[in-house]
Amino acid sequence: MQHVDIYTDGAARGNPDGPGGYGCVLRYMDSRGGLHEKELSQGYIQTTNNRMELMAAIVGLEELRKPCEVTLYSDSQYLIRPFQEHWIDRWVANGWTRGKKEPVKNVDLWKRLLKAKEPHRVNFVWVKGHNGHEMNERCDRLATSAADGDGLIPDPGFIAQASS
Protein backbone atom coordinates (compact mmCIF):
# COMPACT_ATOMS: atom_id res chain seq x y z
CA MET A 1 0.00 0.00 0.00
CA GLN A 2 1.42 3.39 -1.05
CA HIS A 3 2.26 5.77 1.81
CA VAL A 4 1.26 9.41 1.31
CA ASP A 5 1.85 12.36 3.60
CA ILE A 6 -0.84 15.02 3.44
CA TYR A 7 -0.16 18.42 5.00
CA THR A 8 -3.14 20.75 5.46
CA ASP A 9 -4.14 24.17 6.69
CA GLY A 10 -7.16 26.43 6.57
CA ALA A 11 -7.52 30.18 6.90
CA ALA A 12 -10.35 32.68 7.20
CA ARG A 13 -10.30 36.46 7.20
CA GLY A 14 -12.88 38.03 9.46
CA ASN A 15 -13.77 34.63 10.90
CA PRO A 16 -16.59 33.55 11.13
CA ASP A 17 -17.98 35.15 8.00
CA GLY A 18 -15.21 36.55 5.84
CA PRO A 19 -13.31 35.08 2.93
CA GLY A 20 -11.30 31.94 3.56
CA GLY A 21 -9.18 29.32 1.90
CA TYR A 22 -7.44 26.01 2.31
CA GLY A 23 -4.00 24.77 1.40
CA CYS A 24 -2.88 21.18 1.05
CA VAL A 25 0.31 19.45 -0.04
CA LEU A 26 0.45 15.74 -0.90
CA ARG A 27 3.86 14.03 -0.88
CA TYR A 28 4.92 10.49 -1.65
CA MET A 29 8.01 8.57 -2.73
CA ASP A 30 7.77 6.34 -5.77
CA SER A 31 9.35 2.88 -5.93
CA ARG A 32 12.56 4.41 -7.32
CA GLY A 33 12.88 6.86 -4.42
CA GLY A 34 11.63 9.88 -6.36
CA LEU A 35 9.69 12.47 -4.38
CA HIS A 36 6.35 13.57 -5.83
CA GLU A 37 4.40 16.58 -4.57
CA LYS A 38 1.11 18.19 -5.44
CA GLU A 39 -0.26 21.46 -4.06
CA LEU A 40 -3.99 22.14 -3.82
CA SER A 41 -5.75 25.32 -2.70
CA GLN A 42 -9.00 27.21 -3.16
CA GLY A 43 -10.52 30.36 -1.77
CA TYR A 44 -14.12 30.94 -0.71
CA ILE A 45 -16.17 34.15 -0.59
CA GLN A 46 -17.53 33.56 2.91
CA THR A 47 -16.67 30.74 5.30
CA THR A 48 -15.00 29.88 8.61
CA ASN A 49 -11.54 28.75 9.61
CA ASN A 50 -12.85 25.40 10.86
CA ARG A 51 -14.60 24.71 7.55
CA MET A 52 -11.37 25.45 5.69
CA GLU A 53 -9.38 23.13 7.98
CA LEU A 54 -11.82 20.34 7.13
CA MET A 55 -11.82 21.18 3.40
CA ALA A 56 -8.03 20.93 3.23
CA ALA A 57 -8.14 17.38 4.61
CA ILE A 58 -11.11 16.41 2.41
CA VAL A 59 -9.55 17.64 -0.80
CA GLY A 60 -6.25 15.95 0.00
CA LEU A 61 -7.91 12.60 0.63
CA GLU A 62 -10.23 12.94 -2.37
CA GLU A 63 -7.20 13.47 -4.60
CA LEU A 64 -5.95 9.93 -3.91
CA ARG A 65 -6.89 7.52 -6.70
CA LYS A 66 -6.31 4.22 -4.88
CA PRO A 67 -6.32 3.07 -1.25
CA CYS A 68 -3.29 4.45 0.56
CA GLU A 69 -1.69 4.56 3.95
CA VAL A 70 -1.90 8.23 4.86
CA THR A 71 -0.34 10.40 7.51
CA LEU A 72 -2.38 13.60 7.61
CA TYR A 73 -0.76 16.56 9.37
CA SER A 74 -2.69 19.59 10.60
CA ASP A 75 -2.30 22.36 13.14
CA SER A 76 -6.05 22.20 13.79
CA GLN A 77 -7.16 20.52 17.00
CA TYR A 78 -10.69 20.90 15.60
CA LEU A 79 -9.76 18.47 12.82
CA ILE A 80 -7.36 16.15 14.64
CA ARG A 81 -8.90 15.52 18.07
CA PRO A 82 -12.21 14.01 16.89
CA PHE A 83 -10.21 11.21 15.24
CA GLN A 84 -7.49 10.80 17.86
CA GLU A 85 -9.99 10.80 20.73
CA HIS A 86 -12.76 8.94 18.80
CA TRP A 87 -15.31 11.71 19.27
CA ILE A 88 -16.41 11.30 15.68
CA ASP A 89 -17.51 7.73 16.37
CA ARG A 90 -19.78 9.00 19.15
CA TRP A 91 -21.11 11.83 16.99
CA VAL A 92 -22.12 9.37 14.28
CA ALA A 93 -23.64 6.93 16.80
CA ASN A 94 -25.59 9.81 18.41
CA GLY A 95 -27.01 11.14 15.15
CA TRP A 96 -24.44 13.94 14.81
CA THR A 97 -25.04 15.37 18.25
CA ARG A 98 -22.48 15.97 20.95
CA GLY A 99 -22.52 16.67 24.66
CA LYS A 100 -25.93 17.74 25.82
CA LYS A 101 -27.56 16.89 22.49
CA GLU A 102 -25.92 19.90 20.84
CA PRO A 103 -25.68 19.48 17.07
CA VAL A 104 -22.21 18.99 15.63
CA LYS A 105 -21.23 21.96 13.47
CA ASN A 106 -20.15 21.47 9.85
CA VAL A 107 -21.83 18.06 9.56
CA ASP A 108 -21.79 18.34 5.76
CA LEU A 109 -17.98 18.44 5.80
CA TRP A 110 -17.51 15.83 8.55
CA LYS A 111 -19.62 13.42 6.48
CA ARG A 112 -17.65 14.22 3.35
CA LEU A 113 -14.39 13.72 5.25
CA LEU A 114 -15.49 10.31 6.52
CA LYS A 115 -16.39 9.27 2.96
CA ALA A 116 -13.04 10.53 1.62
CA LYS A 117 -11.18 8.73 4.41
CA GLU A 118 -13.03 5.43 3.98
CA PRO A 119 -10.77 3.59 1.49
CA HIS A 120 -7.56 4.61 3.28
CA ARG A 121 -5.72 3.95 6.52
CA VAL A 122 -5.32 7.44 7.93
CA ASN A 123 -3.24 8.53 10.90
CA PHE A 124 -4.09 12.08 12.02
CA VAL A 125 -1.12 14.00 13.45
CA TRP A 126 -1.23 17.41 15.10
CA VAL A 127 1.62 19.86 14.48
CA LYS A 128 2.04 23.16 16.25
CA GLY A 129 1.05 25.98 13.91
CA HIS A 130 3.22 28.99 13.11
CA ASN A 131 6.18 27.27 14.73
CA GLY A 132 8.54 26.91 11.79
CA HIS A 133 7.26 23.52 10.57
CA GLU A 134 8.20 23.79 6.88
CA MET A 135 5.17 22.02 5.43
CA ASN A 136 2.70 23.65 7.81
CA GLU A 137 4.06 27.07 6.88
CA ARG A 138 3.79 26.17 3.19
CA CYS A 139 0.14 25.13 3.61
CA ASP A 140 -0.55 28.31 5.57
CA ARG A 141 0.81 30.38 2.66
CA LEU A 142 -1.37 28.41 0.22
CA ALA A 143 -4.47 28.88 2.39
CA THR A 144 -3.99 32.60 3.04
CA SER A 145 -3.11 33.28 -0.61
CA ALA A 146 -6.29 31.47 -1.66
CA ALA A 147 -8.36 33.48 0.85
CA ASP A 148 -6.82 36.75 -0.37
CA GLY A 149 -6.84 35.89 -4.06
CA ASP A 150 -9.14 36.09 -7.01
CA GLY A 151 -11.44 33.28 -8.06
CA LEU A 152 -13.21 32.92 -4.72
CA ILE A 153 -16.18 30.57 -4.85
CA PRO A 154 -19.27 30.19 -2.61
CA ASP A 155 -19.24 27.75 0.31
CA PRO A 156 -22.75 26.27 0.07
CA GLY A 157 -22.47 24.56 3.46
CA PHE A 158 -21.59 27.84 5.17
CA ILE A 159 -24.48 29.59 3.45
CA ALA A 160 -26.91 26.85 4.51
CA GLN A 161 -25.61 26.90 8.10
CA ALA A 162 -25.79 30.69 8.32
CA SER A 163 -29.39 30.77 7.11
CA SER A 164 -30.62 28.08 9.53
Question: Binding site for Mg(2+), residues?
Answer: 9, 53, 75, 140
* Residues of each annotated binding site: 9, 53, 75, 140
Q: Which of 30, 130, 132, 150 is catalytic?
A: 130
Phi, psi of 138 (to 5 degrees): -65, -45
10 is catalytic: yes
Q: Which of 10, 43, 60, 157 is catalytic?
A: 10
Which run of H or of E encompasses 129?
none
151 is catalytic: no
> What is the number of residues in the chain?
164
63 is catalytic: no
Closest CA to 18 of 62, 41, 59, 49: 49
Q: How far apart are CA 123 and CA 62, in angstroms?
A: 16
23 is catalytic: no
Which run of H or of E encompasses 147?
helix 134-148
140 is catalytic: yes
130 is catalytic: yes
DSSP assignment of 52-116 equals HHHHHHHHHHHT-SS--EEEEEES-HHHHHHHHTTHHHHHHHTTSEETTTEEPTTHHHHHHHHHH
On whether the CB atoms of residues 87 and 28 are closer than 8 A, the answer is: no
Q: Which of 20, 60, 75, 157 is catalytic?
A: 75
Q: Which of 23, 53, 155, 157 is catalytic?
A: 53
Q: Which of 23, 140, 155, 157 is catalytic?
A: 140
The set of catalytic residues is: 9-10, 53, 75, 130, 140
